[in-house]
Amino acid sequence: MKLNAVIAGVGMTRFMKYPDKGLKELGAEATRAALADAGLELADLEGAFVGNCAAGLVTGQESIRGQVVLDSMGVGKIPIVNVENACASGSTAFVQASVMVSAGLHDVVLALGVEKLSHPDKSKSFAAFAGAMDVDELKQMMEDLAKAAAESAREGKGGGAGQSRSMFMDVYASAARAHMEKWGTTREQFAMVSAKNSLHGSLNPNAQFHEVLSVEDVLADREIVYPLTRSMCSPIGDGAAAAVILSERKARELGVEKPVRIATTVMHSGYNHAEDEPDTVQLSSAEAFEEAGLGPDDLDLAEVHDASAPAEIIAYEQIGLCKPGEGGRLVEEGVTRLGGRLPVNTSGGLLRKGHPVGASGLAQVVEISNQLRGRAGKRQVEGARRGLAQNGGGKKGNDAAAMVVTILES
């Protein structure tokens, strides 16, 4: 659909583990930063969509998460809609806020993603990830993943899914092994993604990790499940990200400087597709490009859902940044590095910026918005005018359960 909405302001916390901060503190920090960026006050908000995935399992807060967070800042009365959609919760909140403004129902809407994922008992955090799959199929899936991991790797590396690690790492590892077998993609190329994103993350004050890693460092790190080492897996963390979305008329009325235009934001749900049918990333990307009247060659940068290093390479191909099987070569040739033809995950991506799941999609929006407004500091992409964000969540059958692709323009 054609949108009539712009981003007037963005804000986020640094992503990391906050043992002494909860949803209220994190959400307030990101919200206040976004409003200040837009030159607005809390009283100007006419509605809010609040994305969160795991609070019910990790903190026990269910049902009214958005109301609890916003009431702590004195925000009430306005419609507050809670959005839970696995790792795509924040980007889904962004979709809903953009559509609400475009429909003419409100002029000023907050999209907030906030997550408290770290917990002294890691089994709670891992349970939150497991809940993003069909629980009726979970036991069989875990058995299949463990068997596949054990058969493909060294003896003893198959167990631990959902216990010592998120079982999504087993899902990503399985996809990585399939990509290696079909296309000849190498473990070194996966490591290049992590090394690249570590450089980008070192330049981002809001990133969880600032250490620059070499390809050798990544490969030498502790193995999680073959072919993934720890540095190839996104970390558990906490944080919040927010965007204030205005109608174009309201932005003109307020004299908002350098608003970011939402060219399109597209969402699809997964389905059990045949091997020759498009998956949710391909569906959402193709639709987004068509609605925006653009193609992959028109992009200046992208933020993709690199919950694992192989996922970034596979995303290159799904979005259409290169042909199938050429994703490894794209990163090897430096195309997706800062200074390359199409920098990807200039924020450091989920791998280095961090992945507090309900906030991750909106953090992508924050990064691209700052890039398009020339405010990304040492990681600024020169002349950036258009950027794409791809954020998925959950798993159902052979696809992601939810997928959002957004294209923003300066």
- Tell me whether residue 322 is one of the annotated catalytic residues: no
Non-local (6+) Cβ contacts of 122 within 8 A are 236
- How many angstroms from the chain centroid is the CA of residue 43? 29
Residue 135: which residues within 8 A CB-CB, separation 6 or more? none
Rg of the chain over CA atoms, in angstroms?
20
Catalytic choice (53, 87, 233, 322): 87
User: Is 87 in the active site?
Assistant: yes
Active site residue: 106, 179, 268, 355, which one? 355
- Distance, CA of 294 to CA of 35 (rounded, Å): 30
Which amino acid makes up residue 399?
D
Active site residues: 87, 355
